Amino acid sequence: MDSLQNIKQRFGIIGNNIGLNRALEKSLRVAETDISVLVVGESGVGKENIPRIIHQYSHRKHSKYIAVNCGAIPEGTIDSELFGHEKGAFTGASQSRDGYFQVADGGTIFLDEVGELPLSTQVRLLRVLESGEFLKVGSSKVQKSNLRIVAATNLNIPEAIQKGKFREDLYYRLSTVEILIPPLRNRKEDIPLLFRKFASDFAQKYKMPTLRLNENTERILTNYRWSGNIRQLRNVAEQLSVLEKNREISPELIKSYLPNSNSQLPAIFERETKGSDFSSEREILYKVLFDMKNDLNDLKKITHDLINDENIDSINKKNKAIIKKMYQENDEIKDEDFKNEKKSFEAVPLDTNNNNLKDKVEKDKYEYAETIVEEETLSLLEKEIEMIKRALSRSKGRRKLAAKELGISERTLYRKIKQFDLNKNINE
């Protein structure tokens, strides 16, 4: 077995970080087996190197190696891309096609961004992992494939499982061995080495002198939080190689190429939403309606007390909280306010021996209702007849001008005149 240094040289891996070395060691150990591997790490850390190492040091190295970016394939066609389809399986399937799992038979398939797979595809992938069997889209014949699956993702899989975006059983099946690639900010000692490597490559590519860094510039690069990891560092090195004539990179110059280098972004956290926080207009409307219902019930209660109790003071005292809630705006209502409003309530004596009170209530209950006068509206047919009459009147019976004003053909106008018997209007 090759040493770690030989592997780094072969695959162009730069760095001596302990976490990186541990990831490479695990890759070499699992390469000789066929167990599933899940590579975890942030975007831009170089996760694609791990599956290549596993394939090259396995007994499948002479077979095919296929890398599939699951996040770049549309959801509607991903099953066809992975598992293939039969002729006529869907619109546009003019011929049968083999999927990646069938093409990579005997080799290794690398599923990058596996966390972006839809749930329906995750179910089919789980079956492939368990038995090596799958079905083409539009086929009932079971296909079998002998391949090794290596997956990678930059998502927090446990969090995605809680949100229902990733199957828990698929996660445990993929992560038989989990390999973590550390982010660049945890590999501070490797940052100057990586920058020099990129600067040398771009100097050779663009036929320019190599960039040089002093100690202060290296310190800035080392202490910077590389959110885009190695990919971001590589882009910065390429920009400097192309745009700058001075090959000695000063600290002030390097700061201008680092976004938000002088400030740290605030931490992002999720605030727990309480029941009182409304996330939609529908919930707000529901609350308004419930509040209106409660106010109506309070009014009914006060009215009932007025009918059944002659003592206005007891009514005010009993319903003090309700009256406060309904009639106060900014300031609290004081006790004197209730005394001043005694005259606004009229106590109705309750006579249980006759029906005078009942008749009075039945008579007066509609006095609180708002009288609404509905405006009489014309029907569509009447409006159409009226518009034709107006157009004929304005054009003095000339159908061509009337039809043009109405926006219809002269033939249609003639038919409607005959239908509605409007010839007398033309004559008039």
Highest mean pLDDT among 67-81, 257-271, 310-324, 331-345: 67-81
User: pLDDT class for 60, splitting at 50, 70, 90?
Assistant: very high
Q: Which residue has the higher pLDDT, 278 or 328?
A: 328
Q: What is the rounded average pLDDT for all residues in the chain?
A: 81
Residue keyed to tokens 């005078």: 356
Q: Rounded CA gap, 87 and 99, in Å?
A: 13
Which pLDDT belongs to residue 334?
Answer: 47
pLDDT at 275: 46
More confident residue, 415 or 307: 415
Count of CA atoms in the C-beta half-sphere (13 A) of 159: 5
16-20, 265-269, 326-330, 339-343: range with highest mean pLDDT = 16-20
CA distance from start to end of the chain: 108
- The residue assigned the tokens 């890759």 is 27
Residue type, 400: K
> In 3-state terms, what secondary structure has residue 180?
strand
Q: How buried is 237 (Cβ within 10 angstroms: 0-12 exposed, 13-18 middle, 19+ buried)?
A: buried
For residue 373, pLDDT beyond 80: no
pTM above 0.75, yes or no: no
Looking at residue 427, its pLDDT comes to 54
CA distance 290 to 411: 57
- The answer to whether 418 touches 427, Cβ cutoff 8 Å, is no
pLDDT (0 to 100) of residue 31 = 94
DSSP result, 292-344: HHHHHHHHHHHHHHHHH---HHHHHHHTHHHHHHHH-SSSPPPHHHHHHTGGG
Query: In whole angstroms, what is the distance from residue 48 CA to residue 412 CA?
Result: 70
Q: What is the pLDDT of residue 240?
A: 93
pLDDT for the residue 281: 67
Give the span between the Cα atoms of 102 and 143, in whole angstroms: 8
DSSP three-state, residue 278: coil
State how far the Cα of 195 lies from the Cα of 236, in Å rounded to an integer. Answer: 9
- What is the mean pLDDT of the segment spanning 15-29? 94
pLDDT tens digits, residue range 221-280? 999 999 999 999 999 999 999 998 888 999 999 999 998 744 444 444 444 444 444 455
In the chain, what percentage of residues exceed pLDDT 70?
Answer: 77
- Here the tokens at position 186 are 């945890």
**Dihedral Cα 400, 402, 407, 412, nearest 10 deg:** -70
Predicted pLDDT of residue 90: 84
Mean of pLDDT values over 40-45: 93
Question: Is residue 113's pLDDT more than 90?
Answer: yes
Q: Provide the token pair at 132.
A: 């090596």
Task: Report residue 170's pLDDT band, with 50, 70 and 90 as the boundaries.
Answer: very high
| pLDDT at position 378 | 52
Per-residue model confidence (pLDDT) at position 347: 47
Q: Report CA torsion sign: 51, 197, 220, 237.
A: negative
pLDDT of residue 122: 94
355 pLDDT exceeds 60?
no
Work out the number of other CB atoms within 10 angstroms of the CB of residue 372: 5
**Per-residue model confidence (pLDDT) at position 1:** 56
Coil, helix or strand at residue 385: helix
* Res. 295 pLDDT band, cuts 50 70 90: confident
Q: Is the pLDDT of residue 392 over 80?
A: yes
Determine the pLDDT at residue 327: 61
What letter would DSSP give residue 210? P
DSSP assignments along 334-378, one per residue: PHHHHHHTGGG-------TTSSHHHHHHHHHGGGGSPP--PPP--
Residue-wise pLDDT tens digits, 122-157:
999 999 999 999 999 999 899 999 999 999 999 999
The pLDDT score that the predictor gives to residue 415 is 83
CB count within 10 Å of CB 378 equals 10
Which of 52-66, 113-127, 321-335 has the weakest average pLDDT? Answer: 321-335
Residue type, 110: F
pLDDT band at 326 (very low <50, low <70, confident <90, very high): low
Spatial distance between the Cα atoms of 117 and 109, rounded to a whole number of angstroms: 15
pLDDT at 108 over 80: yes
Read off φ and ψ for residue 212, nearest 5 degrees.
Answer: -125, 145
Looking at the chain, the whole-number percentage of residues with pLDDT higher than 90 is 52
Cα–Cα distances (Å) from 236 to 47, 59, 203, 221, 244, in that order, read 20, 39, 13, 11, 12
Measured CA to CA, the distance from residue 417 to residue 409 in angstroms comes to: 12
Q: Is the confidence at residue 329, as pLDDT, over 60?
A: no
- Structure confidence at residue 330 as a pLDDT band (50, 70, 90): very low
Name the more confident of 345 and 214: 214
Which pLDDT value is given to residue 421?
Answer: 80
3-class secondary structure, 265: coil
DSSP H stretches of helix in 75-150: 78-83, 100-103, 119-131
